[in-house]
Structure 1
Amino acid sequence: MLIFRTVARAGSIAGGARGLGWTQPAVSQHLRQLEREVRCPLVIRQPRGVRLTEAGHALLAHADALAARLHSAEEELAALATLRAGTVRLAAFPSASATLVPPALAELATSHPGLDVQLMEAEPPEALDRVRAGAADMAVVFAYPETEPLLTPELTMRPIGEDPIKVVLPAEHPLAGGDRIELSALREERWVAGCARCREHLRRVCARSGFQPDTRHTTDDYVVAQALVADGLAVTLLPQLALRSYRHPKVAVLDAEAGSRQLMIIHHRESTRTPAIAASVAAITAAARCQSERRAE
């Protein structure tokens, strides 16, 4: 099944053979044997590769789960054999990568020097897909109340904190002098918004205040968003973590009834007892707790 998975992910028998270090005839033979065992074709062979049949797509989901479980077993055995040595592939969204991950990795480097944590930056949907497919061991993701992540049975989620949403105005804005603002006071402003989930959250909180935002600009980059705000081109909502990682000197940040997003760690349920995963989860959870305590000061 894992040979089939390699071929499916490569998109061709030749690519699968290269990935496995096998010959094409050997891979073809194993693929035909698997098709005989399951009694239906799994791929349609084409001049430039292979295309999965409906049965092939169904089997690939099980093959991905099997690969993830095998990887979890390998990690656990390696950790037990080498006193928690091993590799953890961590996916995290940009503002978490800039604020939560560095102190967590620094703590792990001290407490578990044999543990190799490798960071890959990814927004929540991509990060979730990577964990599901076995391309990442765990992910730090966020979700707004209206856009909870879609978890499959083999994944587990651990909440690690809340990330409050702030109003960001030009420093010279007439309403920038206070600590708090009513969103309804910004109904005539132009807005810059972020990802699809962020735009939906902006739309919902503004609707609760009786208006629809005039969204003129969209960007996933909070540095760009703040630059637009600083030059008086728009106002925006940004999470506290994004403002912790970067704050433009010419913007004002105010509290408002703008909600928050939930921060969470997602990994395969099978890897819960893996020492490397457990240590990484604990370190990131502690980093999130420190961020929350800083916010309360």
Structure 2
Amino acid sequence: MLDVLRLRVLDAVARHGSVTAAARELHYSQPSVSHHLARLEAETGAKLVQRAGRGIRLTEAGRLLADRAAEILGRLDSASAELAAHTGLRAGRVRLVAFPSALGTFVPAAAVRLAREHPGLDLRLAEAEPPEALAMLRAGQADVAVTFHYGTTPPEEEEGVRLTPLFDDPSFLVTSAAVPPTGALAAHAGAKWIAGCDRCRSHLLDLCAGAGFEPSIAFTTDDYVAVQAMVAADLGVTVLPGLALSAHRHTDVTVTELSGSTRRVYAATYGTPPDPPATTALLQALHSPP
């Protein structure tokens, strides 16, 4: 009996004309694609691919099977879509990965709305910063990834990833309550600074550069509870997004909103539309601001 997974590999190789491109589409390693092709040849007893310079091409038998594979896979995908539409949202699973302060603020409220409107859905949650979350999305380990992007320019486009804007999250200067409050970054040019995740660190460096100085970064942590504890102890100053302060606010810090400094929060999905009904329902539940 032919293995459907290996038929998908052959179909991808036939459409792209290379193992490398097929591996990229399927999120496999190149050796894995080559292994599946070899196993398919062993199962069929036919030579399906042959070397052609630095690449490969299908043999006559390979082309015949690839054509049939495309038909079979199309029918399977159609049956899956029809079944999902028939089943609707009465059952099933949907997976969400999000950065920590999103999980600590608006995601639980979205989960409550989803459960109220579609009680049969099983929502699975995972935590990851945007780069890792998008990798999980592309690898098929999540259906929706909540991510963010700083600045006024659009985020970098990634093949197959679709971004739905959710809301803008303002940035705040966070200082010890013992320090006289000021909203000017330059007033803290000589202070020690605390940086967060890679994207937040880059944003901090850009803000300080715009204020005419390079910050002296003494500590780095993406734990916004620890960051505020260090600021409260007057070990440094920092910039935090509003969501982090909504999730946790230390009583001994002073926060001042930084005008014109925001990050846009997105819900990311992967693949061509339309999304499965459960994914669409989750997107709708997320689309209300915190």
TM-score between both structures, scaled by the size of structure 1: 0.73
2:242 counterpart residue number: 240
TM alignment of 1:18-37, pairs within 5 A: 29-30=39-40, 36-37=47-48
Alignment of 1:102-181 (within 5 A): 102-145=108-151, 149-175=155-181, 181=183
| 1:82 is the counterpart of 2:87 | yes
Per the alignment, do residues 217 and 116 of structure 1 end up closer, same or farther by CA in structure 2, a change over 3 Å counting?
same
Cα distance, 1:226 vs structure 2: 0.9
The C-alpha deviation readout for 1:97-120, integer Å capped at 9, x for no partner, is: 111210001011110011111111
Q: Which has the larger radius of gyration?
A: 2
Q: Is the alpha carbon distance of 1:276 and 1:184 closer, same or farther for their aligned partners in structure 2, counting shifts above 3 Å?
A: same
Task: Answer yes or no: is the 8 Å Cα contact 1:93–1:122 preserved in 2.
Answer: yes
| One-letter amino acid of the counterpart of residue 280, structure 2 | A
1:72 touches 1:274 (CA, 8 Å); kept in 2? no
Structure-1 residue corresponding to 2:50: 39
In structure 1, the residue matched to 2:226 is 224
DSSP 3-state at the match of 2:214: coil
User: Is the CA contact 1:190–1:233 (under 8 Å) kept in the aligned structure 2?
Assistant: yes
The change in CA–CA distance for 1:212 and 1:115 in structure 2 (over 3 A counts) is: same
CA distance in 2 between counterparts of 1:39 and 1:113 reads: 52
Indicate the residue corresponding to 2:274 in structure 1.
Answer: 272
Mapped to 1, the partners of 2:41 and 2:27 lie a distance apart of 9
Amino acid at match of 2:5: L
Q: How far is 1:200 from its partner?
A: 1.1
Do the aligned residues in 1 keep the contact of 2:164 with 2:266 (CA within 8 Å)? Answer: yes
Seen in structure 2, the aligned counterparts of structure 1 residues 195 and 148 have a Cα distance that, compared at 3 Å, is farther
Offset of residue 247 of structure 1: 1.2
Residue 60 (structure 2) aligns with: none
Work out whether residues 132 and 268 of structure 1, in 8 Å CA contact, stay in contact via their aligned partners in 2.
yes
Question: Counterpart in 1 of 2:64?
Answer: none
Q: CA deviation at 1:160?
A: 0.9
Query: Residue 256 of structure 1: SS of its match in structure 2?
Result: strand
Among 195, 201, 222, which residue is 1:199 paired with? 201
- Residues 74, 109 of structure 1: CA spacing in aligned structure 2 closer, same or farther, 3 A cutoff? farther
Distance in 2 between residues matched to 1:189 and 1:136, nearest whole Å: 41
Q: Structure 1 residues 124, 250: CA separation in 2 closer, same or farther (over 3 Å shift)? A: same
State the distance in 1 between where 2:140 and 2:51 align.
26
Are the aligned partners of 2:41 and 2:48 in contact in 1 as well (CA < 8 Å)? no
Unaligned runs of 5+ in 1: 17-25, 42-52, 56-65, 292-297
- When the two chains are superposed, the root-mean-square deviation of aligned CA atoms in Å is 3.4
SS in 2 for 1:127: helix
Shift of 1:71: 11
Which deviates further from its counterpart, 267-276 or 189-198?
Answer: 267-276
Q: Distance in 1 between matches of 2:139 and 2:173?
A: 37
Partner of 1:62: none
The 1:250/1:11 distance shift into structure 2, 3 A limit, reads farther
Give the whole-Å Cα distance in 2 for the aligned partners of 1:54 and 1:39.
9
1:100 and 2:82 are equivalent in the alignment: no
Q: Which residue of 2 aligns with 1:20?
A: none
Counterparts of 1:70 and 1:192, CA distance in 2: 55
| Matches of 2:117 and 2:271, distance apart in 1 | 24
In 1, the alpha carbon distance for the partners of 2:269 and 2:242 equals 24
Change (3 A) 1:213 1:129: same
Against the structure 1 CA distance between its residues 7 and 201, is the aligned structure 2 distance closer, same or farther, given a 3 Å change threshold?
closer
When the two structures are superposed, what TM-score results if normalisation uses the length of structure 2? 0.75
SS of the residue corresponding to residue 179 of structure 2 reads coil
What secondary structure, in the 3-state scheme, does the structure 1 residue paired with 2:145 have? strand
